[in-house]
Structure 1
């Protein structure tokens, strides 16, 4: 257990950030799943529409440090390649 005032504050802040970051990661996963669901069905228009929502969300996650920037770029690249292949 933390004894210093600053350490106690850091524990509170870490807990609050974990909630925000977890929500952001969950939102990113949801949007990516929507793109993949449209790809599995073969609906290119729905996949493009879902990708237009998912891509900025992944970029924002990378910018804020929730996702590594290369991970976000790789996911975007692979999803766009799959959409293009339809």
Structure 2
């Protein structure tokens, strides 16, 4: 328990920011999982849209400090690589 008034305020601010960060991180994970599920169903057009949404969410999270910039770049790179592999696989199957 903080004894100083400013420390009490910092606790309130920290709790508020923690809730916001958890919400944004959850939305980020959801967008990535949606991309993965669409890609698993071999729906390339929808996967492209889901990839754009996930990439945008990763960039926003990195900008707001929810995740590190390098982590966002690494995840975007891996998702894009998986998408490109799926597109190439579909092209060879046709």
TM-score strictly above 0.5: yes
Which structure has the larger Rg?
Answer: 2
Give the superposition deviation at 1:2. 0.2
SS in 2 for 1:2: coil
Normalised to the residue count of structure 1, the TM-score between the two structures is: 0.96
Give the superposition deviation at 1:43. 1.4
What does 1:14-53 align with in structure 2 at a 5 Å threshold? 14-53=14-53
Runs of 4+ displaced beyond 3 Å: none
Aligned pairs, number = 86
Structure 1 unaligned segments of length 5 or more: list them: none
Deviations 1:33-64 (CA, angstroms, capped at 9, x unpaired): 01100121121111111011111111010011
Normalised to the residue count of structure 2, the TM-score between the two structures is: 0.88
CA distance in 2, matches of 1:19, 1:6: 20
Match of 2:6 in 1: 6
